[in-house]
């Protein structure tokens, strides 16, 4: 029986951790229910407590095992215009709705694994966008990404990826990927103006942009930051506060409107009877209380506060920081700061993606088995062939485990990177096998050491060659580069040393 060396034990431990990363604990393929992928932030369901990412396990006392169960129950309930009571059970709560229409949510079956797939496999649209007649700086592009992300979040779009990318010449672009959207949908979302308004009741106080807002305090502890964190009955909450500066006209209008309002007293303090409501494209995105000290006062400086909650103080702090940054971004510019143009627009059917996955799995398995057969014929050793197969499959599992852990979206180029990794891995393993069979007077340990010097040289060459691909094609080749670098690094540090020990054990 082959001895389990420490290198082989490391491979086994990392394989187990990768499988946990891919399937979770308990395994996702054993979970019942449907997951909420999108919900209207102004809907009754959202107000009552349903959130994106929650798993619905039952409706009106009936178990929900899959999307078919949920669709059957919901479609049979709302047949009249009268309000109907609906009890929705999630994993950690029970939500009761009284409405005459189905909940404004989008649900889907729980994924069988934690592996995230890109648009090439899941289907949807991708747009590569630049500012028209302007080269954006890194900071300008970051603000634009924040504005677009906030805008699209308002529309309740799930499976959305927006990021800043740079090509080899240093030019900045924005890449938007939306699963399930058509090119027309994507063009309409990007072309909308993004009107921001702050209202008290039905009266507009100021709008986003430099017309009414002179500046917003950011990254300055003197006028922006997290103030206090406290524990409550439901966990922790942290309060944030930052300052905005209005134009003279906006400040005067704010004073005229607030002068007519009454003051309400509560345990939280004294605030005006009407709040300041923030709207983006006529959708309510946040509501802020107005301190009584601002009643009828012409001031260009307004302090805006809010909070974030979480299960522990760290989570609440992070949530408050995210909420503060979101509000700051909206107030800086609710509308698009630049005229945009789409320079590349792609779409792909999810059916094509499924067919591709099926085909590539079949082709990859056939190729690996063919290589193992050739190895068996060449070296006439069944154990060596099996060791090669185990090592190849181990590399694939570990790559997928790392991709699941870092939530990397696997697209066609990422799959190509995995295939490239398999090829380089088999090359390295053949080098190890050839060196172990050499009839020189060197010891087996010295032969394997010589094989690894060749493998390390090839590894560093591959990594250096892949680095430019991180930025080539405006970053669209990043998936191939990242996946291949992960694969060859896993091979050099984990699987090939273990394979070397396997061959050493077989030959001894």
Dmax over CA atoms of the chain, in Å, equals 98
The pLDDT value recorded for residue 398 is 93
- Tally Cβ neighbours within 10 Å of residue 507: 15
Verdict on whether the full-model pTM lies above 0.85: no
pLDDT value at residue 354 = 65
Q: How far apart are CA 328 and CA 220, in angstroms?
A: 13
Query: What's the whole-number mean pLDDT along residues 49-76?
Result: 86
Mean of the pLDDT values across residues 481-497? 87
Say which CATH superfamily domain 6-26+350-507 falls into: Multidrug efflux transporter AcrB transmembrane domain (1.20.1640.10)
Q: Is the pLDDT of residue 16 over 90?
A: yes
| Domain extent listing, the chain | 6-26+350-507, 32-109, 124-193+339-347, 200-321
Residue 463 banded pLDDT, cuts 50, 70, 90: confident
For residues 252 and 332, is the Cβ–Cβ distance under 8 A?
no
Q: Do domains 6-26+350-507 and 32-109 have the same CATH topology?
A: no
Q: What is the pLDDT of residues 288-300, one digit of tens each?
A: 788 888 888 888 8
- Cβ-based neighbour number of residue 267 at 10 Å: 4
Share of the chain above pLDDT 70, in %: 82
Pairing status of strand 116-117 against strand 409-410: parallel
Please state whether beta strands 105-109 and 116-117 pair in parallel, antiparallel, or not at all (unpaired): unpaired
Half-sphere exposure of 55 (CA within 13 A, CB side): 14
Q: Is the pLDDT assigned to residue 185 strictly greater than 80? A: no
| H or E element at residue 134 | none
Per-residue buried b or exposed e for 363-395, using 16+ beta carbons within 10 Å of the residue's own CB: ebeeebeebbeebbeebebeebbebbebbbebb
pLDDT tens digits along 22-40: 988 888 778 888 988 777 6
CA distance 237 to 307: 7
Cis peptide bond N-terminal to 365, omega within 30: no
Q: Are 341 and 128 in contact (CB under 8 A)?
A: no
Tell me the pLDDT tens digit for each residue of 300-341: 887 777 788 888 888 888 888 877 877 776 676 555 667 778
pLDDT at 192: 57
Q: How far apart are the first and last CA of the chain?
A: 11
Domain 124-193+339-347 sits in CATH at 3.30.70.3400
Q: Write out pLDDT tens, residues 235-269.
A: 888 988 888 888 888 889 888 998 888 888 776 67
DSSP codes joined into one string, 152-215: HHHTT--SEEEEEEE-TT--EEEEEEEET--HHHHHHHHHS---EEEEETTEEEEESSTTTEEE
Distance CA 245, CA 438 (A): 78
pLDDT of residue 447 exceeding 70, the answer is no
CATH 2.30.42.10 correct for 32-109: yes
Q: Which two tokens stand for residue 209?
A: 């942009």
Query: How sure is the predictor about 475, in pLDDT bands with cuts at 50, 70 and 90?
Result: low
Task: Please give the structure tokens belonging to residue 416.
Answer: 């190509």
What does pLDDT average to over the chain? 79
Where do we find the tokens 């702050």?
Answer: 198
pLDDT tens string 160-175: 778 888 877 778 888 8
Q: What is the DSSP letter of 378?
A: H
């Amino acid at each position: 029986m082959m001895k389990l060396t420490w290198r082989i034990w490391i491979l086994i431990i990392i394989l187990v951790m990768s499988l946990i990363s891919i399937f979770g604990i308990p395994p996702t393929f054993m979970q019942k229910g449907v997951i909420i992928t999108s919900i209207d932030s102004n809907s009754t369901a959202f107000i009552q407590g349903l959130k994106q990412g929650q798993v619905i396990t039952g409706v009106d006392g009936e178990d929900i095992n899959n999307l078919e169960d949920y669709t059957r129950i919901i479609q049979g309930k709302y047949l009249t215009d009268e309000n109907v009571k609906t009890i929705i059970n999630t994993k950690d709560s029970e939500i009761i709705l009284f409405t005459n229409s189905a909940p404004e949510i989008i649900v889907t079956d729980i994924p069988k694994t934690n592996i995230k797939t890109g648009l090439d496999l899941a289907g949807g649209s991708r747009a590569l966008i630049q500012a028209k007649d302007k080269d954006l700086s890194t900071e300008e592009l970051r603000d634009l990404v924040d504005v677009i992300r906030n805008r699209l979040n308002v529309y309740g779009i799930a499976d959305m990826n927006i990021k800043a990318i740079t090509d080899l010449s240093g030019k900045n672009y924005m890449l938007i990927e939306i699963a399930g959207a058509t090119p027309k949908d994507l063009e309409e979302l990007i072309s909308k103006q993004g009107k921001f308004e702050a209202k008290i009741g039905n009266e507009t106080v100021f709008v986003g942009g430099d017309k009414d807002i002179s500046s917003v305090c950011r990254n300055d502890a003197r006028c922006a930051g997290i103030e206090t964190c406290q524990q409550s009955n439901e966990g922790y909450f942290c309060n944030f506060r930052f300052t905005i500066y209005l134009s003279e006209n906006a400040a005067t209008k704010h004073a005229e409107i607030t002068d007519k309002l009454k003051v309400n007293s509560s345990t939280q303090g004294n605030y005006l009877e009407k709040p300041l409501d923030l709207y983006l494209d006529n959708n309510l995105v946040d509501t802020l209380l107005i301190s009584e000290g601002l009643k009828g006062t012409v001031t260009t400086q307004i302090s805006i506060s809010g909070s974030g909650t979480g299960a522990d103080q760290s989570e609440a702090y992070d949530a408050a920081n995210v909420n503060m940054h979101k509000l700051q971004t909206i107030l800086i510019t609710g509308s698009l700061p630049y005229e945009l143009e789409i320079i590349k627009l792609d779409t792909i059917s999810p059916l094509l993606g499924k067919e591709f996955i099926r085909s590539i799995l079949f082709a990859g398995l056939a190729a690996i088995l063919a290589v193992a057969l050739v190895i068996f014929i060449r070296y006439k050793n069944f154990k060596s062939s099996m060791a090669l197969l185990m090592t190849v499959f181990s590399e694939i599992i570990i790559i997928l485990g790392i991709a699941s852990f870092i939530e990397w979206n696997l697209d066609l180029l990422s799959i190509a990177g995995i295939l490239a990794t398999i090829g380089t891995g088999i090359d390295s393993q053949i080098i190890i096998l050839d060196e172990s069979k050499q009839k020189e007077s060197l010891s087996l340990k010295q032969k394997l050491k010589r094989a690894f010097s060749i493998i390390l040289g090839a590894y560093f060459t591959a990594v250096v060659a892949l680095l430019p691909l991180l930025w080539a094609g405006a970053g669209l080749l990043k998936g191939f580069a990242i996946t291949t670098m992960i694969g060859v690094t896993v091979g050099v540090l984990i699987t090939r040393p273990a394979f070397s020990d396997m061959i050493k054990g077989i030959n001894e």
